[in-house]
Amino acid sequence: MSRAADAARKRHEELVAEIRAHDYRYYVLDDPAISDREYDALYRELVELEKEYPELATPDSPTRRVGMSPRGALRTVRHVAPMMSLDNTYDETEVRDFARRVVAGLPAGARPRYCVEPKLDGASVEILYREGRLHEASTRGDGEHGEDVTENLRTIRSLPLTIDYRGPLTLRAEVVIFRRDLDRINAERVALGEPPFANPRNAAAGSLRMLDPRIVARRPLRAVVWQVVEGPEIAPSHSAALDRLAELGLPTHRKHVVCDDVDAVLEAVRALDADRKSYPYETDGAVIKVDDFSQQAILGATAKFPRWAIAYKFGAERATTRVVRIEVGVGRTGTLTPVAVLEPVRLAGTVVSRASLHNEQIVGQLDVRVGDRVTIEKAGEIIPQVVAVDVSARPAAAEPFRMPEHCPTCGTRVSRSDGEVAVWCPNPHCPDKVAGAIFHFSRRFAMDIDRLGEALIEQLVKKNLVRDVADLYELRAEQLVELERMGKKSAENVIESIAKSRERTLDRLLTGLGIEHVGPVASRQLAEAVHSLEELLAIPESEITERVSAIAGFGPKMVESVRAFLTDPESRKLLERLSKLGVSRPQPRHTVAASGPLAGMSFCVTGVLSRKREDVHASIRAAGGEVHDKVKSGTTFLVAGEKVGSTKLAAAKKAGTRVIDEATLERLIQGEPLPEATPQA
């Protein structure tokens, strides 16, 4: 190696080490040691050095964080371990109940310690390090599989590309954007005529899934690691693992507190709640974890949640602003809903400019008027709503609100029923009703049509390309290309997503059609009873009530709603079109084995179990038992998991149904004798 090349290599090593150190101080510690201009000078020197000596540009060089070329699509990868949700609560009593369940689930005499930390409000990812290098990163996805976003994660300067640990290490982290950074981004977007991001979470999640890492590199994303999934040998406990990760230069929140008992846990939760507004990122609660990894392994998990952790959600934040005007929207059922248009205000990480007023009665009770100062909060931390009005600050000319007599969308005279609060538009072709029905139809819990967002649906309805959900299946890509912000590839992707939805089972179709009083569970029961859309259409009108009444759990209102839907000429015409278009697959029939250890027994299953509810039902049926969705006269056993509501237990007591746990059910399935009954609480 020449003297010049050797000097370049040494200078390259110095620059890389210095830039990494400054990245760590700025992005992890939030404590920069030099100015942006000084940092840029170091970075430009590194770029020029690598141009002159390309062999120095290793894959983990800071210059490689700018991102590679755009990709056509994000590939799907399987997680090392399922990314489970956390059970959550808003009640300190339930935190104590959680602690009691933990103690009961551990060997006698074991004393668990807990780690309390902030629950970050961002986009969760799985990150793999192999041989000390960042190997792979993926989004949460469905919990089992996620999208490969490795190249996008490589652009995040708070996340080291190499670490001083050579064993396999799989981490869970949150990708976040600091509040101050979001304000700057939004100011730039508004100046360019682009819509601002609603909140840091949406900005982070949207950036993470972009196909062009070069654009991602320009977004101020940060990663905060909060869990070791693979590689727990680096420490015996969760808190020690977080400390070790920080030593390795990985970004952690550094806010965790170890507690010896539940009283200390609640004190730590309250302290996090009091301090959270001082954090640079959004948090919406505290996570409480059993600290010892070996105890976590003993406690295990249900089908949905780990038994060793729970999230305590903080109370709803409130903000004060002014009502600019009151608008009235029309939903998919035609119901008119008043909405307060507000002076924008930040609330729980979101800039809020609209809040629901629910209905005419609520407006009257609040007496909210245009110009009023109002207090708003997020119901369930999702939907902003007005909760109080400052009458003392009311403008003198403010007048009481009155619901319109005609639909604000189509002009049809509204309908009202005696004794009912709701006011609705009776026009079945009202554009807002049609758009709302199509959006509901496309939702994930229904027909799950990806890429069919509200903005696109509004265009389809406005252009009269879609008048009902059946019209979706007759759309052509060339029709979509004519719409705003719709290129050829995007149009083809939408058509492909619509075509895939033909394969959804009948229960998903019935859910998407939005039959009144019939939700996803009832839709599945109805689908199981009739098997296919063709069989549903073949039921004689005179037999509908009898057939539907025979379905367990269907009360008079549900039966009448289904009957009205199936006999309505417009609804029937829609179903017939969907059938001809080949929409929906037949519903699998649940058959009960002719014999088995559970023959002659019937079961209702409730609560949180170690397996999916459907899998437990299948095991019961395979052993000869029947499954009831509700406890009723004749139900032999109520299988109760964790977090069982009092309603089912009361119903079991009234019906004389014995309550058993999941372990007892498994013994019965294996043909073991029934244990002695214990008195019900």
pLDDT tens-place string over residues 456-500: 999 999 999 999 999 999 999 999 998 988 889 889 999 999 999
Residue 69 pLDDT exceeds 70: no
Q: What is the pTM of this model?
A: 0.61
- 210/330 same-domain check: no
- Does 332 score more than 60 pLDDT? yes
Q: Judge whether residue 680 has pLDDT over 50.
A: no
pLDDT at 381: 55
Domain CATH number, residue 243: 3.30.470.30
Residue 680 counted as domain residue:
no
The reply to whether 588 falls in a domain is: no
Q: Is 119 marked active-site?
A: yes
At a CB cut-off of 8 Å and minimum separation 6, what does 468 contact?
434, 437, 438, 574
pLDDT of 67 > 60? The answer is no
Gap between the Cα atoms of 87 and 100, Å rounded: 15
Q: Which residue has the higher pLDDT, 614 or 414?
A: 414
How would residue 407 be classed by pLDDT, with cut points 50, 70 and 90? very high
pLDDT exceeds 60 at position 620: yes
**Number of domains the chain contains:** 6
Please indicate, yes or no, whether residues 532 and 446 belong to a single structural domain of this protein: no
Q: Of the residues 503, 523, 541, which one is the last residue of a structural domain?
A: 503
Cα gap 221→155, rounded to integer Å: 8
Residue 553: pLDDT over 90: no
Top pLDDT among 527 and 592 is at 527
**Predicted local distance difference test score (pLDDT) of residue 647:** 76
Would you say residue 679 lies in a domain?
no
Give the pLDDT score at 70: 53
CATH of the domain at 334: 2.40.50.140
| Residues 446 and 404 reside in one and the same domain | no
- Tell me the mean pLDDT in the region 432-442: 95
pLDDT exceeding 90 applies to what percent of the chain? Answer: 52
Q: Give the pLDDT confidence score for residue 190 in this predicted structure.
A: 77
209 pLDDT higher than 50: yes
Query: What is the pLDDT, as a whole number, of residue 679?
Result: 45
Domain-ending residue, one of 393, 424, 455: 424
For residue 613, what pLDDT band results from cuts at 50, 70 and 90? confident
Judge whether 83 lies within some domain. no
Query: 70-74, 214-218, 633-637 — which is least confidently predicted?
Result: 70-74
The CA distance from 316 to 91, in Å, is: 13
CATH number, domain containing residue 553: 1.10.150.20
Same domain, 416 and 512: no
Does 435 share its domain with 375? no
pLDDT at position 27 over 70: no
Instruction: Tell whether 82 is covered by a domain.
Output: no
Same domain, 489 and 622: no
Q: What is the mean pLDDT of residues 130-135?
A: 92
- Which of these three, 503, 522, 541, is where a domain ends? 503
- Domain membership flag for residue 157: yes
Domain with residue 40: its CATH number is 1.10.287.610
- Pairwise CA distance, residues 681 & 309, whole Å: 27
Amino acid type, 236: P
State the catalytic residue, choosing from 51, 119, 433, 632: 119
Alpha-carbon distances, residue 341 vs 382, 422, 464 (angstroms): 17, 21, 29
Q: Name the pLDDT band for 681 (thresholds 50, 70, 90).
A: very low
Q: Are residues 149 and 294 in the same domain?
A: yes
What is the model's pLDDT at position 351?
A: 81
Q: Which domain holds residue 61?
A: 3-66
Check whether residue 446 and residue 524 sit in a common domain: no
- Split at pLDDT 50, 70, 90, the class of 349 is low
Question: In this structure, are 257 and 114 located in the same domain?
Answer: yes
For 558-611, how does the pLDDT look when each residue is reduced to its tens digit (9 = 90+)?
A: 999 999 999 999 999 999 999 999 999 999 877 788 889 999 999 999 887 878
Give domain status of residue 585, yes or no.
Answer: no
In a 10 Å sphere around its CB, with 0-12 CB exposed, 13-18 middle and 19+ buried, how is residue 451 labelled?
Answer: middle
Query: Does 341 lie in the same domain as 417?
Result: yes
Lowest mean pLDDT among 53-67, 107-121, 144-158: 53-67
Distance separating alpha carbons of residues 25 and 34, to the nearest angstrom: 10
611 part of a folded domain: yes
> What is the CATH classification number for the domain harbouring 637?
3.40.50.10190
- If pLDDT is split at 50, 70 and 90, which confidence band does 65 have? low
- If asked whether residues 151 and 244 sit together in one domain, one would say yes
Are 531 and 552 part of one and the same domain? yes
CA distance 525 to 571: 20
